[in-house]
Chain A
Amino acid sequence: MEKYSIGLALVITASLFSLGWILMGSDDTPEKADPATLAKEKALFDDICATCHGINGNGDGVLAANLQTKPRNFTTGIFKFRSTLSGQLPTDEDLSITIKSGTHSTAMTTFETFSPEQIWALVQCVKTFSPRFSDPNEYPLKTISYGNEIPFTRESIAKGRKAYVEMQCNKCHGDAGEGNGSSADGMADNWGDPIQPSDLTNPSNLKFATSPAEIFRTLATGLDGTPMPSYSGAIPDSAMWYLANYVYSLQTHQGYYEPIKPEETE
């Protein structure tokens, strides 16, 4: 009986797989969501996002108490992952990317199975929680400049290694980039929640760092609300590219660098 049931289940599975293939939907991108859609997606926010971010978007959903990386408090208008200068609001595209891709190694899951309409409407929902988004003085948003990208080469990595020491990145991220620098302990974000510097050697610990360009973005924008500052304007774009290439080499373990010795940091 058991074998017969398994066999029958496999036949049904194969048949329904074919049916599912045929019934797959489309993903046309709309230009704008209407108010009814926004109301519907606010309900979606309450159903899905509010478990972490809270009904009012202030980051105190029921899951927050059990998470090391706390959910974003949307009411402050402070966001870590942006393409805009430090202190500025994120663009719609920035919010869209975060929602769609999630932030791995945290409880913020990917919502890539949502339609573009749903993502867009959730972005609008998030923007309703902070008055900053409706303040004309916040606009226009200034996005960072990437300057001239410097290729990922041994020479640029070596220069990035030098910049890593000079900018004292090791104080937080450690000599080997493992997130265990002398200042790493006891760090907190703007809300007083404990925070640890990223382990730059662990790809699963770094958010939005799948390429030197993404790392450059983090260096240029900083991670607002955390101790990670923006280096835009503080060092040349070229130095940020060197740093980005060095950090990328750390996480990809390509061995293009010599470990930093203690005497170099003195």
Chain B
Amino acid sequence: MKYRLQNTSVFCFSSLLVVLILSCTVITPRAGAIPLFARKYKTTCFTCHVSEPMLNEFGRRFQANGYRIANSEPKTPTWDQLPIVLAFAVTPSVIYAHSRDNITNEVTDSRNFSTYGVDMLTAGDFGSRLSWYGDVTVDPKEGAGLESLFLIYHAGAINFTLGKQILRTLFPIQFTLGTTDYLAQSYEPFADGSLTNKGVPIGGTNTLLLEKASYAVSAFGWVPDILNGFRYELAFTSGNDGVDLNDAHALFLSADQTIYYANNAPFKVGLWYYAGKQRLYDFDSTNAVWNSDGHDNLLWRFGIGADIYDPWVKKINLTGQYMIANDDNIYNGSSFGQQRMTGSFLSLTAILLPEKVYTYGRWDHKEVNELKLTDTQWTVGLKYHFVPNVFLFGELAFDNQKIPNRLDKSTTTLSIGTLIAY
């Protein structure tokens, strides 16, 4: 009975969301958000985004060109111009989650209000060759944190960066809509190890995660003359938040090719490779302390992907990725050794009303061989550009994790929120 009631709650939330968004569609304000680069280039957010945060073709090229329009040479600003390019974004949302353990029939519900903190964004030019990008998050619970801050030296088809930054994988989260993590892209091997509830997972904070910013030196660029554009990146990175920089290093390679296959509709295909070494500190469960010696873990990640727009109306985007993650010496649930994850996602985004209403769906799947873990996730959502600088969104996600005879957990999550950017 309780389960049925919770399902009814989810249905009510969903209905409310649909009514909310449908009612909003009768209001048709002229919309034009003014986030970071839109303000700098005196344009709307739709120059670079399908809808925030999903980048369109112009935005991808802009990013690949080092956050500049190709071949442009900004002048050195005067001191009084420097603070102009300062923006913020806040994403308050209500998240309702309903989980069910299908083995024990235990049901868990949670409701949270998440602010995601406030992102203070800044970017600008020091001259024709040099620019910067920075993102500081101010969270009431966690205080201020430096999400990213890096310098870019522009040298034509190649840009050099130095600082804390998210590596530009083929499909970072900006390439589709949605707020739910990608199972493969956000893969964290130690977190999965804890699912077995057997023994104490080995880990600590010494991880290299693709979805988070790392201290890195990078060379990347956009070569427009190869078919309809070739993008590449080579980077050396040193861990992420809270990492001892002497202990975690990785090499990152990424490349993708764009071609207008029909009627100006782009098709992209690419791959990336990420390999490194990290020092892991083992947990002494007897004394409840981390051992100071630890051991090394060699890791690599490999991904291939493709992205295509329909050639008829160019309002439907299909994106997919396949990824393998390998760690050679971590606690995999029963012993130290290799742990391998294979994962993929397929995402479809549709433009329902230009500059206004979007819908999307995504299928995610991953398998962790040694844990015998399978995880499948379905996500659907709607996004509405309500008024200038304000987006409303609603997202429903269903996730199922399974380990034979050990774990069978289903989670339904409903998120309703707004993105305010100025």
Interface residues of chain A, those whose CB is within 8 Å of chain B, are 1-2, 5-6, 9, 12-13, 16-17, 19-21, 23-25, 27, 43-44, 46-48, 50-52, 54-55, 60-68, 102, 104-111, 113-115, 118, 196, 199, 202, 204-205
User: 7 closest A-B pairs (Cβ-Cβ)?
Assistant: A20-B127, A20-B126, A109-B43, A20-B130, A113-B72, A47-B224, A65-B314
Instruction: Give CA–CA (A44, B127) in the complex, Å.
Output: 21
Instruction: Give CA–CA (A199, B31) in the complex, Å.
Output: 13
- How far does the Cβ of A161 sit from chain B's closest Cβ, in whole Å? 24
Instruction: Give CA–CA (A147, B267) in the complex, Å.
Output: 53
Evaluate contact between B71 and A118: CB separation under 8 angstroms: yes
Q: Which chain B residues lie closer than 8 Å to A19 at the CB level?
A: 126-127, 130
Instruction: Give CA–CA (A55, B149) in the complex, Å.
Output: 36
B229 sits at the interface (CB 8 A): yes
16 A-B interface contacts by CB (under 8 A): A5-B164, A5-B215, A9-B163, A12-B151, A16-B151, A17-B130, A19-B127, A23-B128, A24-B127, A43-B224, A43-B225, A47-B70, A50-B264, A51-B57, A65-B354, A105-B32
Please pick, from B46, B61, B73, B314, the residue contacting A107 in the complex, using a CB distance under 8 A.
Answer: B46
15 more contacts with CB within 8 A, not counting A9-B151, A61-B264, A109-B43, are: A2-B146, A16-B126, A16-B130, A19-B126, A21-B126, A23-B130, A24-B127, A47-B61, A50-B264, A55-B264, A62-B264, A66-B355, A102-B43, A109-B69, A202-B30
Evaluate contact between B128 and A107: CB separation under 8 angstroms: no
Q: Which chain B residues lie closer than 8 Å to A52 at the CB level?
A: 58
- How far does the Cβ of B33 sit from chain A's closest Cβ, in whole Å? 11
Q: Which chain B residues lie closer than 8 Å to A111 at the CB level?
A: 69, 72
B281 sits at the interface (CB 8 A): no
B266 sits at the interface (CB 8 A): yes
Evaluate contact between B313 and A65: CB separation under 8 angstroms: yes
Instruction: Give CA–CA (A100, B378) in the complex, Å.
Output: 45
Evaluate contact between B58 and A25: CB separation under 8 angstroms: no
B2 sits at the interface (CB 8 A): no
Evaluate contact between A64 and B30: CB separation under 8 angstroms: no
Given known A-B contacts A62-B56, A62-B309, A64-B314, A13 and B61 have beta carbons under 8 A apart: no
Evaluate contact between A105 and B44: CB separation under 8 angstroms: yes
Residue of B nearest to A199 (CB): B30
Q: Which chain B residues lie closer than 8 Å to A48 at the CB level?
A: 58, 61, 69-70
Interface string of B122-144 (1 = CB under 8 A from A): 00011111101000000000000
- How far does the Cβ of A221 sit from chain B's closest Cβ, in whole Å? 23
Interface string of B162-194 (1 = CB under 8 A from A): 111000000000000000000000000000000
B315 sits at the interface (CB 8 A): yes
B265 sits at the interface (CB 8 A): yes
Instruction: Give CA–CA (A197, B286) in the complex, Å.
Output: 74
Residue of A nearest to B76 (CB): A24
Instruction: Give CA–CA (A204, B127) in the complex, Å.
Output: 28
Q: Which chain A residues lie closer than 8 Å to B43 at the CB level?
A: 102, 104, 106-110
Evaluate contact between A68 and B355: CB separation under 8 angstroms: yes
Evaluate contact between B314 and A62: CB separation under 8 angstroms: yes
- How far does the Cβ of B35 sit from chain A's closest Cβ, in whole Å? 13
Q: Which chain A residues lie closer than 8 Å to B224 at the CB level?
A: 43-44, 46-47
- How far does the Cβ of A55 sit from chain B's closest Cβ, in whole Å? 6
Evaluate contact between B266 and A62: CB separation under 8 angstroms: yes
Residue of B nearest to A47 (CB): B224
B47 sits at the interface (CB 8 A): yes
- How far does the Cβ of B323 sit from chain A's closest Cβ, in whole Å? 26
Evaluate contact between B73 and A25: CB separation under 8 angstroms: yes
Instruction: Give CA–CA (A1, B238) in the complex, Å.
Output: 13
Contacts of B51-77 to chain A: CB distance below 8 A: 56-58, 61, 68-76
Residue of B nearest to A103 (CB): B43
B351 sits at the interface (CB 8 A): yes
Interface string of B20-59 (1 = CB under 8 A from A): 0000000000101000000001111011001000001110
Taking each of B44, B70, B162, B263, which has the highest tally of chain A beta carbons within 10 Å of its own beta carbon?
B44
Instruction: Give CA–CA (A17, B265) in the complex, Å.
Output: 40
Instruction: Give CA–CA (A24, B61) in the complex, Å.
Output: 24
- How far does the Cβ of B193 sit from chain A's closest Cβ, in whole Å? 26
Q: Which chain B residues lie closer than 8 Å to A23 at the CB level?
A: 127-130
- How far does the Cβ of B74 sit from chain A's closest Cβ, in whole Å? 5
Q: Which chain B residues lie closer than 8 Å to A9 at the CB level?
A: 149, 151, 163-164
Please pick, from B32, B61, B74, the residue contacting A113 in the complex, using a CB distance under 8 A.
Answer: B74
Given known A-B contacts A5-B164, A47-B61, A66-B355, A13 and B264 have beta carbons under 8 A apart: no
Given known A-B contacts A20-B76, A44-B70, A66-B50, A6 and B146 have beta carbons under 8 A apart: yes
Please pick, from A60, A109, A110, the residue contacting B263 in the complex, using a CB distance under 8 A.
Answer: A60
Q: Which chain A residues lie closer than 8 Å to B283 at the CB level?
A: none
Evaluate contact between A109 and B127: CB separation under 8 angstroms: no
Please pick, from A51, A108, A113, the residue contacting B56 in the complex, using a CB distance under 8 A.
Answer: A51
Residue of A nearest to B72 (CB): A113
Please pick, from A43, A68, A113, the residue contacting B354 in the complex, using a CB distance under 8 A.
Answer: A68
Given known A-B contacts A9-B149, A43-B225, A104-B43, A65 and B127 have beta carbons under 8 A apart: no
Evaluate contact between A12 and B266: CB separation under 8 angstroms: no
